[in-house]
Structure 1
């Protein structure tokens, strides 16, 4: 579960943004903050993976918050969610390490696309190990507004992560049906994600031969040293 801190000086806007986050599978609102001091305190003392950060705060700017987080050694990810649209602010946010920038006002679909892209990025990074150029390109392009998505259209990063965790926790290769039973996905969905991850090189396919009939396809997560 990705823990999100929602930061906005307007209580109603913070509530709306938090409600949006809670609608997206794999994300949970860890806390809400209404000024820079509260935001910094929440990151210091709570478990926060991602900050949705407004720029216009009553005590300091959102950029000041990002700067202070980095000075204090926090590598918490940040997506700016703000009405500030001047190029200077956008550029400063990029240079300070904000992963994305969402301009208010926006629809739920706008935030959802950003968060799903973020989940896809985390899925790629959690694989660990060394990365070939294609995977490096996916990492750097995962949050791009344009370009190829980290997963094909119609595939959910959270479902892919569910499959990954199930394979990692298994005591050996599993069949598509066994994976479906573990994850409560349909067999068809489990098979679709297994094939996708196999083509990406993240899952290894092996064959189990019985006494009669066709061999059974079995799958295991590829752990890269």
Structure 2
């Protein structure tokens, strides 16, 4: 059985997430917390396998909790939950050991996919046996997916999510060059993902005309588009 700590400052949301976790075979919620301090206290009191950790907490953010866990030597796994997390925060959380993240609002199916992928990965690691690289990629892919639409071969759900996050946080339309600068990828790669998101109706393309030359393509995340 995988023991889970649910952390959310909203008591009602914590109850809903607890009910979700309880519906997934092999998982049980052994504690709940509503602040960073309370979360760290619960972890010090008993063994926790996985934390479903809200990023926005009243005293500290979730990234601070992850950093403190690693400083104290706790190997507890973490899935971050956030409503509007920028790319830099996501990447920092990953560097400090968060497995992946969920974007609010999510439904039961989205959380179940994360938990089942985590359970599979955990069984593989605990078993100590060898596994095919494709299977490892599949497990991590399930952990990183954010209810994204089907992506053609050669496209990564994690990369598509990073592009989406930049667009969501932007105050104005962005170009492929802007996206590339934010995420740290090539302009060609950014353009490829933007075109895919435009074709699936999640991104709106607009043109900005200069004094000379071809118009610049700029992109905006469509309000209400499914992540």
Q: CA deviation at 1:72?
A: 0.1
Q: CA deviation at 1:45?
A: 1.2
Match of residue 51 from structure 1: 51
Q: Is contact 2:5-2:29 (8 Å) kept?
A: yes
After the TM superposition, list the runs of 4 or more consecutive aligned residues in structure 1 that deviate by more than 3 angstroms.
Answer: 129-142
> What do the CA deviations read for 1:157-204 (whole angstroms, capped 9, x no partner)?
xxxxxxxxxxxxxxxxxxxxxxxxxxxxxxxxxxxxxxxxxxxxxxxx
Structure 1 position 2 matched with structure 2 position 9: no
Distance 1:29 1:117 in 2: 17
Structure 1 position 21 matched with structure 2 position 25: no
Alignment of 1:78-93 (within 5 A): 78-93=78-93
Alignment of 1:35-184 (within 5 A): 35-129=35-129, 133=133, 137=137, 141=141, 143-145=143-145
TM-score (norm. length: structure 2): 0.60
Q: Which runs of 5+ in 1 are unaligned?
A: 148-225
Distance 1:74 1:125 in 2: 18
Which structure would you say has the larger Rg? 1
TM-score (norm. length: structure 1): 0.60
Q: Secondary structure at the match of 2:74?
A: coil
Q: Secondary structure at the match of 2:143?
A: coil
Q: CA deviation at 1:66?
A: 0.2
Alignment CA distance shift 1:132-1:108 (3 Å): closer
Aligned length: 147
Q: CA deviation at 1:93?
A: 1.2
